[in-house]
Amino acid sequence: MTETRQRLMIDPEVIGGTAQAPRLIGSVCARCATVTFPRQRSCPRCTSEDVHPRELATRGELWSWTIQCFPPKAPPYLPGGVEEFEPYGVGYIELPGEVRVEARLTESDPERLRIGMPMELTLVPVPGAPDKLTFAFEPVPEAER
Ligand SMILES: [Zn+2]
């Protein structure tokens, strides 16, 4: 736990809360209530600039997903090169009544992912920069659904 606290979240404009209870920071339009992630200076729906930061829900449903099986070509995925690459899941999480968030998934086994399954926000080390944390979503354990 102490080790986690000492790590740095990758961007305080994107991830709020604490290392133990992180929150994604989106924005909400005061005029039409459209929610965005990441934060935007103006509303993509009505163009109002009366938008405010909003902590998003930490649980949602897996809307769609895939497994990234090869290193992204650009920018370079890891300082150590492709030898360090491990396949990972990536998907969209539908936060109820808010927005769909594109995120890395902690699960990379296609047999353990299905559309509509409950997912929860978590933090993971940044590939190639293990002293930094970024956000990801993990399946909610069966017992907590
Ligand atoms: Zn708006």
Check whether 136 has a pLDDT greater than 90: yes
Q: What pLDDT is stored for residue 81 in this prediction?
A: 67
Does this model's pTM top 0.75? Answer: yes
Task: Give the Å distances, CA to CA, from 39 to 13, 23, 24, 135.
Answer: 8, 13, 10, 15
Find all residues with CB under 8 Å of 10, minimum gap 6, and list them: 126, 132, 133, 134
Q: State the distance from the centre of ligand 1 to the C-alpha of 43, rounded, in angstroms.
A: 5
The range of the structural domain enclosing residue 32 comes to 2-144
pLDDT in tens, 9-36: 778 889 999 888 999 999 999 999 999 9
Q: State the distance from the centre of ligand 1 to the C-alpha of 107, rounded, in angstroms.
A: 34
The SS3 call for residue 36 is strand
Q: State the distance from the centre of ligand 1 to the C-alpha of 13, rounded, in angstroms.
A: 20
pLDDT in tens, 30-72: 999 999 999 999 999 999 999 999 999 999 999 999 999 988 7
Query: Which residue, among 40, 56, 145, 68, has the nearest Cα to 95 in the 3D structure?
Result: 56
Q: State the distance from the centre of ligand 1 to the C-alpha of 133, rounded, in angstroms.
A: 31
CA distance 34 to 29: 5
